[in-house]
Homo-oligomer: A and B are copies of this chain.
Amino acid sequence: MSALPAGRGRSRLIAVARGDAEPDTVIEGAQVFAAHTREWLSGDVAIADGMVAGIGSFEGGERIDARGRWVVPGFIDAHMHVESSKLTPAQFARAVLPHGTTAIVCDPHEVANVLGSDGVHWMLDASEGLPLSVFVMAPSCVPASAFESPRRELTVGDMEAILRRRRALGVAEMMNFPGVIAGDEDVLAKLEVRGASHADGHAPGVVGRALDAYAAAGIRSDHEATTAEEALEKRRRGMWVLLREASNARNLRDLLPLVREHGPGFCAFCTDDREPDMLLREGHINQMCRLAVEEGVAVEDVLVMATLHAAQAHRLDGHGAVAPGFRADLVVLEDLTSFQPSLVLARGRVAARAGVCEAFAVPATPAHVLGTVRSAPVRSEDLVLEADGDVRVIEIVPEQLITIARTVSPSRANGHVVADPSRDLAKIAVVERHHATGRVGRGLVTGFGLTRGAFASTVAHDAHNVVAVGADDASMLACCARLQELGGGCVVAVDGQITGELPLPVAGLLSDRPVEEVVERLDQLHAQLRELGVTIEAPFMTLSFLALSVIPALKITDRGLVDVDRFEIVPLAAG
């Protein structure tokens, strides 16, 4: 994957490099990080046509005084999902460029669940020409399981078409690790899709012989290790270890012993899933740099993981270093501890100053990614729970994606199982929203602490149907109706009336508003939920994973309750 034009398009760059033409821009007098030797070089950085021409002494061009400062390559996120930010690619770029991130490798499997391959193609279109370089992996696991109902299944053919496009690299995280390890032919076919340069992995907790089998399939990265020992096992097997620091999985600190003991080789940084508030309040890859340096890793080792190694893991030629012919994605740092850039250049142009993004042209949003909530109207009877005897209840575990499968004797009214706030038993419903099938999965959930009202979202991994939790049916119905009107988002209702909302009109997943506004809206929703008794930290994030049918133990989709350990649909009544 050559990200840059080689050859003839570079004749002016070459002339600037050899001294026969004036550079566009010169960053003067900084200490410049040479990623390939891990040295700091003194000199000007000359830029022409969006690329680095050289490090040395250069006359002319626009001058940027960086004496006493450090210049490092722009940071690269080696694996992430833009959709977790709830931002369009343009707004995401605006959010992370001030933190020094100039390139990401994303797996757009959330929009793929809602929009099929059109969603992936839109992600490529919507990121065209941004100052942030957006590389895309072809989603390999849509749907996440047979129990989920996305708009449609993404086929090997869809992947092949995606991989014909510029900026499309390889096979996105192969989450179906049981299928790979079992040698499932259809799963292995996705790994050999034409046009893929490499395949990313996803093998949480997989070690030993199972990991041998997974790696033998040719998968060359993993971002799911939670301990240094697990990460070491993966690296020994020739896999890139993508050290993760996500909103819901803060693994970096636990993984750093691998780097301290075995060096930064075959290690790179990734964020996987970051909620908008984490982006706004803590930052992006620069937050990982800060933390790693705090934890005693050498600055030079941290920087190669944040830059060049991510480029190598994805074979991104011309990215991740400050050297002639590399893209002029550059970060000016005031210190090597906070990693808060005073200046960020992308393709040689100033992209952010002192934490504020420069304006750039934003591609228009096409109609086909809007209005994607197409559920049949939800009626009272759709929420009725009927079961004799004890019933299954999903128990949430604060700050984790797993749940516990409980059995309780429910409260009943008029012969129906009902929510009972006094026992922290709320109703949960998942409404199919892609084809208006009217399919509604129903159940009970405990652990939110909801005392009244309801909240709901169209962000519901991975199929992103409507998921609603409520203490009363009227509020749940109001939520579902409002999400239909909004075309998706997050809403709260009390006594059958909407009290707060965050519209997410793009695929029902993304806002086209700035991150500050999205966070403010989400904060308001969270404050309302706290008033309604909710005790956990990030209720909408927790809600969004209750429909993900591949993480234990008891989950719910539009097809009903899913016993993930037995991998089957189970009735409400506990047998």
Q: Which of A161-169, A180-188, A548-556 contacts B (4 or more CB under 8 A)?
A: A180-188
Decide yes or no: A14 and B216 within 8 Å by CB, A2-B197, A209-B56, A317-B198 being known contacts: yes
Establish whether residues A232 and B37, one from each chain, have CB atoms under 8 Å apart when the complex forms. yes
A318 interface residue, CB < 8 Å from B?
A: yes
Cα distance A18–B213 in the bound complex, in angstroms: 5
Copies of this chain in its oligomeric complex: 2
A79 to chain B, nearest CB (A): 18
Establish whether residues B238 and A10, one from each chain, have CB atoms under 8 Å apart when the complex forms. no
Cα distance A217–B212 in the bound complex, in angstroms: 40
In the complex, chain A residues 1-34 whose Cβ is within 8 Å of any chain B Cβ: 2, 4-11, 13-19, 34
A464 to chain B, nearest CB (A): 28
Give the chain B neighbours of A212 by CB distance below 8 A: 17-18, 53-54, 56, 324
A417 to chain B, nearest CB (A): 43
Cα distance A52–B216 in the bound complex, in angstroms: 8
A387 to chain B, nearest CB (A): 39
Partner of A10, one of B11, B56, B217: B217
Establish whether residues B324 and A237, one from each chain, have CB atoms under 8 Å apart when the complex forms. yes
- Which B residue sits closest to A1, measured CB to CB? B197
Give the chain B neighbours of A14 by CB distance below 8 A: 180-181, 183, 188, 213, 216-217
- Which B residue sits closest to A326, measured CB to CB? B238
Establish whether residues B6 and A218, one from each chain, have CB atoms under 8 Å apart when the complex forms. yes
Which of A2, A6, A41, A262 neighbours the largest number of chain B CB atoms within 10 Å of its CB? A6
Partner of A39, one of B18, B181, B191, B236: B236
Establish whether residues B54 and A209, one from each chain, have CB atoms under 8 Å apart when the complex forms. yes
In the complex, chain A residues 277-329 whose Cβ is within 8 Å of any chain B Cβ: 312, 315, 317-318, 321, 323-326
Establish whether residues B7 and A235, one from each chain, have CB atoms under 8 Å apart when the complex forms. no
Cα distance A533–B280 in the bound complex, in angstroms: 81
Cα distance A55–B211 in the bound complex, in angstroms: 11
A153 interface residue, CB < 8 Å from B?
A: no
Cα distance A9–B215 in the bound complex, in angstroms: 14
Establish whether residues B325 and A218, one from each chain, have CB atoms under 8 Å apart when the complex forms. yes
Establish whether residues B236 and A41, one from each chain, have CB atoms under 8 Å apart when the complex forms. yes
Establish whether residues A17 and B213, one from each chain, have CB atoms under 8 Å apart when the complex forms. yes
Give the chain B neighbours of A325 by CB distance below 8 A: 215-219, 238
- Which B residue sits closest to A318, measured CB to CB? B218
A210 interface residue, CB < 8 Å from B?
A: yes
Give the chain B neighbours of A54 by CB distance below 8 A: 209, 212, 216
A192 interface residue, CB < 8 Å from B?
A: yes
A5 to chain B, nearest CB (A): 7
Decide yes or no: A217 and B265 within 8 Å by CB, A17-B212, A323-B238, A325-B238 being known contacts: no
A7 to chain B, nearest CB (A): 3
A547 interface residue, CB < 8 Å from B?
A: no
Establish whether residues A324 and B216, one from each chain, have CB atoms under 8 Å apart when the complex forms. yes
Give the chain B neighbours of A412 by CB distance below 8 A: none
Establish whether residues B10 and A216, one from each chain, have CB atoms under 8 Å apart when the complex forms. yes
Give the chain B neighbours of A13 by CB distance below 8 A: 216
A51 interface residue, CB < 8 Å from B?
A: yes
Give the chain B neighbours of A223 by CB distance below 8 A: none
- Which B residue sits closest to A238, measured CB to CB? B323
Establish whether residues A215 and B324, one from each chain, have CB atoms under 8 Å apart when the complex forms. yes
Establish whether residues B235 and A36, one from each chain, have CB atoms under 8 Å apart when the complex forms. yes
Cα distance A9–B197 in the bound complex, in angstroms: 17
A454 interface residue, CB < 8 Å from B?
A: no
A199 interface residue, CB < 8 Å from B?
A: yes
A318 to chain B, nearest CB (A): 7
A220 interface residue, CB < 8 Å from B?
A: yes
A413 interface residue, CB < 8 Å from B?
A: no
Q: What 15 new A-B contacts, CB under 8 Å, besides A2-B197, A36-B265, A51-B216?
A: A2-B218, A4-B218, A6-B192, A11-B185, A13-B216, A15-B183, A18-B213, A37-B232, A38-B262, A54-B212, A56-B208, A211-B324, A236-B323, A238-B324, A238-B325
27 A-B contacts (beta carbon < 8 Å) = A2-B197, A2-B198, A4-B218, A6-B192, A6-B217, A7-B188, A7-B218, A10-B216, A13-B216, A14-B180, A14-B188, A14-B216, A15-B213, A18-B210, A36-B238, A36-B239, A37-B266, A38-B263, A51-B216, A52-B216, A54-B216, A55-B236, A56-B209, A211-B324, A218-B325, A219-B325, A315-B315
The chain A residues found within 8 Å of chain B, CB to CB, are 2, 4-11, 13-19, 34-39, 41, 51-56, 180-181, 183, 185, 188-192, 197-199, 208-213, 215-220, 232, 235-239, 262-263, 265-266, 312, 315, 317-318, 321, 323-326
Those 8 A-B pairs whose CB atoms lie nearest each other, nearest first: A7-B192, A54-B212, A238-B323, A6-B218, A18-B213, A215-B324, A17-B212, A216-B324
